[in-house]
């Protein structure tokens, strides 16, 4: 192990328990339901941003259609629960499978495309999902699906904000943990090698197609989990919830926090999902300020708030590209 890895391991041993402990005790200090509501929302966005991070941060595949997976998860889960009477747990596992396969499906054209072309294809994917949700009969079109049951276990029902807070953040922590473990695994290193230098990765025998498709699949799976949680939490979903602006928002959370880091997307979720709620008294200005903030941050800290170590790869790549252009 070199020094860098050792340091990051030592950091992880302290930071993970601290983070989890903070999450567990937080409701003791936050008694009001509105704040808990905001925290649940942040937890859901944390899952979304973290799962997008696997696609964009680890594998370097641009994706501007992440809300599409979110919608797939929410609709599959809601429809299975209402039409087939499945429990939340079965439905959410099914929705994660659906998210995975949708991701693989989207990964197929992504094999051939990169950069801006990939952006537009993923963006188109998000729109296509929304258009289908608006037009299909099973999704009840623009009217949406009301009365989605809440998760239940034994006799206990997750119908309070507090119980949903624990459920959502448990899922968020699991997602973060899996992402963190993945990053240091053979699988994760293969993803990052594809990101840093496709040609070199392929020359060393990394099956690029497989990893790109898997990255989309896994990203889609966790986003679908967030969707499934969202559906049962709000008990109502409609196509309006899953707009392009949400995909862009999730993308920004990931970038602002720090692309390719584990804590970054979660921090981004706190900033972009939490701040607008906290600043609700300035409702008219909050998105204006947010837009300005994004520009300013990109000028002064383009790697994101936590991004320094991890973005080294991408800046190196930029430099290499620049050199290549000059030669």
Partner 1 sequence: MFFQQLVNGLAVGGIYALIAIGYTMVYGILFFVNFAHGDIYMLGTYCAFFIFGFMGIEVTGGVINVPQFFAALIPSMLICGVMGIALEKFAYRPIRNGSRLSAMISALGASLFLCNTAMYLFGSQTKPMPKLFAGEYITIGNTIISYIQLAVLVVSILLMLALHFFIKHTKLGKAIRAVSDDQRAAVLMGIDMNRVISATFAIGSALAGAAGIMVGIYYGAVYPTMGAVAGIKAFTAAILGGIGNIPGAMLGGVLLGIIESLGGAYISFGYRDAIAFFVLIIALCLMPTGILRKGRT
Contact 59, 211 (CB under 8 A): yes
Q: Scanning residues 118 to 137, which ones bind partner 1 (CB under 8 A)?
A: 119-121, 123-125, 127-128, 131-132, 134-135
Query: Which residue from 60, 14, 72 is spatially nearest to 313, judged by alpha carbons?
Result: 60
Q: Is 6 buried (19+), middle (13-18) or exposed (0-12) by CB count in 10 A?
A: exposed
Tell the smallest beta-carbon distance from residue 317 to partner 1 (Å): 8
Tell the smallest beta-carbon distance from residue 68 to partner 1 (Å): 11
Q: In 85-207, which residue ranges form alpha helices assigned H by DSSP?
A: 88-112, 115-135, 161-183, 186-196, 198-203
Tell the smallest beta-carbon distance from residue 46 to partner 1 (Å): 19
Binding mask 134-173 for partner 1 (x = CB under 8 A): xx--------------------------------------
Tell the smallest beta-carbon distance from residue 296 to partner 1 (Å): 8
Of 21 and 287, which CB lies nearer to partner 1 in the complex structure? 287
Please pick, from the candidates 78, 172, 180, 259, the single residue that binds partner 1 as defined by CB under 8 A: 259
Kindly state whether residue 308 participates in binding partner 1, applying the rule CB under 8 A: no
Kindly state whether residue 291 participates in binding partner 1, applying the rule CB under 8 A: yes
Task: Kindly state the tokens that stand for 198.
Answer: 């496709």
Of 43 and 57, which CB lies nearer to partner 1 in the complex structure? 57
Name the one range near partner 1 by CB under 8 A: 87-95, 181-189, 191-199, 285-293: 285-293
Tell the smallest beta-carbon distance from residue 294 to partner 1 (Å): 3
Task: Please list, in sequence order, all residues whose beta carbon lies within 8 angstroms of the beta carbon of residue 274, skipping any fewer than 6 positions away.
Answer: 38, 39, 42
Please pick, from the candidates 82, 104, 113, 263, the single residue that binds partner 1 as defined by CB under 8 A: 113
Task: Kindly state the tokens that stand for 207.
Answer: 């099956």
Give the count of beta carbons closer than 10 Å to the beta carbon of residue 319: 10
Tell the smallest beta-carbon distance from residue 111 to partner 1 (Å): 9
Dist CA 161 CA 32 (whole Å): 10
Q: Which long-range contacts (CB under 8 A, 24 or more apart) does 309-312 make?
A: 309/4, 309/261, 310/57, 310/258, 310/259, 310/260, 310/261, 310/264, 311/258, 311/259, 311/260
Kindly state whether residue 208 participates in binding partner 1, applying the rule CB under 8 A: no
Tell the smallest beta-carbon distance from residue 233 to partner 1 (Å): 26
Kindly state whether residue 210 participates in binding partner 1, applying the rule CB under 8 A: no
Task: Kindly state the tokens that stand for 248.
Answer: 């862009």
Kindly state whether residue 104 participates in binding partner 1, applying the rule CB under 8 A: no
Backbone angles phi, psi at 309, to 5 degrees: -65, -45
Binding interface with partner 1 (CB under 8 A): 109, 112-113, 115-117, 119-121, 123-125, 127-128, 131-132, 134-135, 244-245, 248, 251-252, 255-256, 259, 284-285, 287-288, 290-295, 297-299, 302, 314-315, 318, 325-326
């Amino acid at each position: 192990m070199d020094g860098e890895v050792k340091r990051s391991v030592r950091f992880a041993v302290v930071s993970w328990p601290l983070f989890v402990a903070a999450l567990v005790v937080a409701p003791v200090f936050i008694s009001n339901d509105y704040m808990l509501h905001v925290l649940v929302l942040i937890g859901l966005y944390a899952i979304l941003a973290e799962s997008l991070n696997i696609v964009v941060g680890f594998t370097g595949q641009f994706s501007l259609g992440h809300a599409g997976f979110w919608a797939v998860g929410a609709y599959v889960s809601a429809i299975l629960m209402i039409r087939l009477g499945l429990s939340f747990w079965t439905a959410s596992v099914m929705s994660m499978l659906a998210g995975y396969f949708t991701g693989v499906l989207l990964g197929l054209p992504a094999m051939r495309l990169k950069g801006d072309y990939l952006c537009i294809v993923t963006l188109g994917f998000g729109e296509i999902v929304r258009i289908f949700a608006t037009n299909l009969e099973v999704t009840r079109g623009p009217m949406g699906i009301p009365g989605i049951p809440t998760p239940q276990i034994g006799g206990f029902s997750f119908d309070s904000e507090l119980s949903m807070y624990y459920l959502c953040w448990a899922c968020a922590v699991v997602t973060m943990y899996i992402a963190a473990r993945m990053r240091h695994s053979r699988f994760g290193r293969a993803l990052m090698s594809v990101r840093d230098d496709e040609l070199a990765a392929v020359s060393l025998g990394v099956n690029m197609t497989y990893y790109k498709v898997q990255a989309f699949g896994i990203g889609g799976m966790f986003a679908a989990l967030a969707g499934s949680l969202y559906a049962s939490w709000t008990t109502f979903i409609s196509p309006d919830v899953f707009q392009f602006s949400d995909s862009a928002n999730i993308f920004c959370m990931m970038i602002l926090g720090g692309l390719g880091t584990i804590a970054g997307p979660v921090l981004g979720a706190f900033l972009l999902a939490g701040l607008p709620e906290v600043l609700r008294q300035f409702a008219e200005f909050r998105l204006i300020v947010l837009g300005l903030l994004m520009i300013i941050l990109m000028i002064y800290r383009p790697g994101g708030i936590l991004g320094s170590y991890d973005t080294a790869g991408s800046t190196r790549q930029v430099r290499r590209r620049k050199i290549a252009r000059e030669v």
